[in-house]
Amino acid sequence: MGMRDELFSKWIEAMKGVKFPVSSVDEVFAGLPKGSESNISVGGLVVCNTGDLFGRFLKPTDFPIESSEALATLILDRAGL
C-alpha cells in the first residue's frame, strides 16, 4: 500500500466520529478524538497533525464538505500526494 492509500485509510478511520456534511473545520475537529491536536501516524511515525494540516490546505470556500472521503481526497490532492 502506498503512502497516499495508507493516509487515506487512516483519515477515513479517524473521521468516523465526524457528522458529515460539515460546514467548517471546527465541525471536523469536534468529531475527532483529540480535535485539532490529533495526529496521523504511518509506520509508527507521526506524519502530520490535523490542526496544522487543515490550516494549511483547507479554505473557508471548500465548505460544505459532504463526506470523509471528499475531505481526505481534497487534503491529499492539495498536499501533492
Which domains can be identified in the chain, with CATH numbers? Answer: 3-79 (1.10.238.80)
Which pLDDT band, with edges at 50, 70 and 90, does 2 fall under?
confident
Of 33-42, 52-61, 65-74, the poorest mean pLDDT is in 33-42
Say how far apart CA 74 and CA 33 lie, in whole Å. Answer: 21
| CA distance readout (Å), 14 to 4, 61, 66 | 15, 23, 16
Q: Is the pLDDT of residue 60 over 70?
A: yes
Output the average pLDDT for the chain: 86
Which pLDDT band, with edges at 50, 70 and 90, does 1 fall under?
low
Q: Is the pLDDT of residue 49 over 90?
A: no
Do residues 57 and 11 lie in contact, with contact meaning Cβ atoms separated by under 8 Å?
Answer: no
Which pLDDT band, with edges at 50, 70 and 90, does 45 fall under?
low
